[in-house]
Amino acid sequence: MSLRHTYTLRAPLYDVALRQASRRLREQSLAQLAVPAGAPVLVTGIGTGLDVPHLPREPWYVGLDLTHAMLSRVPRADADLAIVQGDAMRLPFRDACFDAVVLHLIVAVVADPRRCLAEAARVARPGARLLVLDKFLRPGERAPVRRALNALTRRLATRLDVVLETLVAEVGALEVESDTPALAGGWFRSVVLRKRA
């Protein structure tokens, strides 16, 4: 089953499953979004718009998601927001055009996390922050149960074997500014990356 098909089916239940569980994490992550008024910010994997109520009002946002079923549920009145249907692994934007990129619960969901992060880095301006919120293994962490379950979960909803430090090293254009445990004993992490100038 493709990611597009899976999330088309999950769209009606997505908010019920994640709204309360992720609300505080989203608020805390987005509080780190410091860009000038009118600055363009990309929200990759906006889904049903659970980030929208927590977005600071000053920037201009572009929300991107793979499926129309998810995007049709995004609230539009809360922020200056344009909606684009597209693939996080092949962003339909020119290089260095966003002052910040939000990647909440998307890096470990896509089939190729390295490509997703590389695309986010490509469209970010030098010095831009990338706000990442997701589940990641630590370098060298064995996590045998998560790794065993990954064979199933990566086809249905999300990967359980992603090591963020490996992705950052492979992409090469990013550095870690902060890395905070967020949930489940630090399995979920709130990370701020900065694109090198």
In this prediction, residue 17 carries a pLDDT of 57
pTM for the whole structure? 0.87
- pLDDT tens by residue, 161-195: 889 999 999 999 999 999 999 877 788 899 999 99
CB-based contact 181:175 (threshold 8 Å): no
Fold of 3-195: Rossmann fold (3.40.50)
Give just the sign of the alpha carbon dihedral 171, 176, 182, 186. Answer: positive
Q: What are the extents of the domains in the chain?
A: 3-195
Bridge partners for 189 per DSSP:
134, 181
Give the pLDDT confidence of 25-83 residue by residue, as tens digits. Answer: 999 999 999 899 999 999 999 999 999 999 999 999 999 999 998 899 998 766 799 99
pLDDT for residue 154 is more than 80: no
Smallest CA-to-CA distance from 99 within 73, 135, 61 is with 61
Give rounded-to-5 percent helix, strand, coil for the chain. 35, 30, 35
